[in-house]
Amino acid sequence: GAVVSQHPSWVICKSGTSVKIECRSLDFQATTMFWYRQFPKQSLMLMATSNEGSKATYEQGVEKDKFLINHASLTLSTLTVTSAHPEDSSFYICSARLLRGDSNQPQHFGDGTRLSIL
């Protein structure tokens, strides 16, 4: 159980293109999903927290107009990297927490999306 699907797994595109990444919880409902970015040999960096039906909460230094997040249902959140540039090339990973009364639930991660901007 607790499977998180992320799509696509790999994207190569030209500078200036917008790229949409989908994160789905397949067998559970998730009120909260998280978006991380990870550069090579570095640790996970939380970009934003996505709450179903409301605006995402962005971490300091993350441009909300650059990284658009939509969480329209309890099983789907999307991250759109707008007008992507080479410095946006990274490994983007989503995670989701099970919807339950208690908050002692782990985060379950998707397989990640490797984004390369040429």
The contact set with another protein (CB under 8 A) reads 6, 31-32, 34, 43-44, 46, 49, 91, 93, 95, 97, 103-112
C-beta of 83 vs 116, nearer to another protein: 116
In the complex, minimum distance from the CB of residue 112 to another protein, in angstroms, rounded to a whole number:
4
In the complex, minimum distance from the CB of residue 32 to another protein, in angstroms, rounded to a whole number:
4
C-beta of 17 vs 114, nearer to another protein: 114
Sequence letter at residue 40? P
Q: Please name which of 52, 42, 38 lies closest in space to residue 90, comparing C-alpha atoms.
A: 38
Please tell me the total number of residues recorded for the chain in this structure.
Answer: 118
Phi (first) and psi of residue 88, to 5 degrees:
-85, -5
Provide the β-strand partners of residue 12: 116
Name the helix (H) or strand (E) containing 6.
strand 4-7
In the complex, minimum distance from the CB of residue 52 to another protein, in angstroms, rounded to a whole number:
11
C-beta of 87 vs 102, nearer to another protein: 102
In the numeric block, which tokens belong to residue 88? 């946006």
C-beta of 38 vs 82, nearer to another protein: 38
In the complex, minimum distance from the CB of residue 16 to another protein, in angstroms, rounded to a whole number:
27
The 10 Å Cβ neighbour count of residue 29 is 13
